[in-house]
Amino acid sequence: MKKTLYSILYMFLITFCFTALVSGIRYLNQEKIEQNMAMRRQAVILSALNISSQKIDSAALQMSLYNERIKQRQILDRDIYIGLDNEGQAITGYAFSASGQGFWGPISCMIGISGDMTHLLGIVFYENTETPGLGARITEDWFQKQFTGLSLKNKNSSGNFFTLSPAGSEKTSDDFDAITGATGTSDAVEKFLNRELRLFINRIAPLLIKET
């Protein structure tokens, strides 16, 4: 009995020490962690707005570019990032974060829309729990770049701005390649992206126009 109690106490102390150590390290590095998260979000916003698709080596340079070219507004309780030209005057685009349920868990992306709200500037998927080599391929350039230039003026017969179909099949201008072997992820992306685009065009865009 004593041996069992000793083992339990020993395991408890070991677990407590390791938990305290990890918590302490996280506490000491919390500011750095938050800075890295902010820098990553800035990079995603700049890329979605087609302001910078290249990795900027200097954090100071990225922050300077972001502060010069990005303004932030809140519309319908959502953060909208407004892209500006080189002079920081004319609006070149709008970006907002969108998320939806994927095959295994949440998928999050940043959507960039042109200043005249007629087409997409880009989409960057920055968070997902999909299967590596299958659904997680939504983060690959070839998949994301398909959406660049997508017209938001018209919807197809299903009421969507675009459709994802199997690679190699006959396609129209609003029909893009799905991820081969990841039908669940592709269907989820098609569903929540179209939903978020409709929300922007129908509800957020009119309010942005009023502001400007």
Distance CA 48, CA 94 (A): 9
Residue 27: pLDDT band with limits 50, 70, 90? low
Distance CA 136, CA 185 (A): 8
What is the average pLDDT across 65-87? 94
Query: In the prediction, which pLDDT does 157 show?
Result: 79
The residue segments making up the domain with residue 90 are 42-211
Query: In the prediction, which pLDDT does 5 show?
Result: 60
Q: Is 112 or 171 the better-scoring residue by pLDDT? A: 112
Tell me whether residue 29 is in a domain: no
What is the average pLDDT across 99-126? 96
Total length of the chain: 212
Measured from the Cβ of residue 152, the count of other Cβ atoms closer than 10 Å reads 19
The one-character DSSP state at 171 is -
Query: In the prediction, which pLDDT does 169 show?
Result: 82
Nearest to 211 by CA among 72, 47, 70, 97: 72
Tell me whether residue 10 is in a domain: no
Tell me whether residue 83 is in a domain: yes
Strands 91-101 and 78-84: antiparallel
Residue 66: pLDDT band with limits 50, 70, 90? very high
What is the average pLDDT across 3-9? 64
- Torsions phi, psi for 105 (to 5 deg): -175, -170
Count: domains in the chain: 1
Query: In the prediction, which pLDDT does 6 show?
Result: 63
Inform me whether the pLDDT recorded for 177 exceeds 70.
yes
Local structure of 140: helix, strand or coil = coil
Tell me whether residue 24 is in a domain: no
Give percent of the chain with pLDDT exceeding 90: 64
Tell me whether residue 140 is in a domain: yes
Tell me whether residue 13 is in a domain: no
Tell me whether residue 75 is in a domain: yes
Nearest to 89 by CA among 73, 65, 71, 66: 71
Query: Which residue has 């990841």 as its token pair?
Result: 182
Tell me whether residue 8 is in a domain: no
Q: Please report which residue ranges of 29-140 form alpha helices under DSSP H.
A: 30-48, 59-69
Q: Of the spans 4-13, 155-164, 190-199, which averages the highest pLDDT?
A: 190-199
What is the average pLDDT across 128-148? 95
Distance CA 176, CA 163 (A): 6
Query: In the prediction, which pLDDT does 1 show?
Result: 58
How open is the CA angle 83-74-187, to the nearest 5 degrees? 80
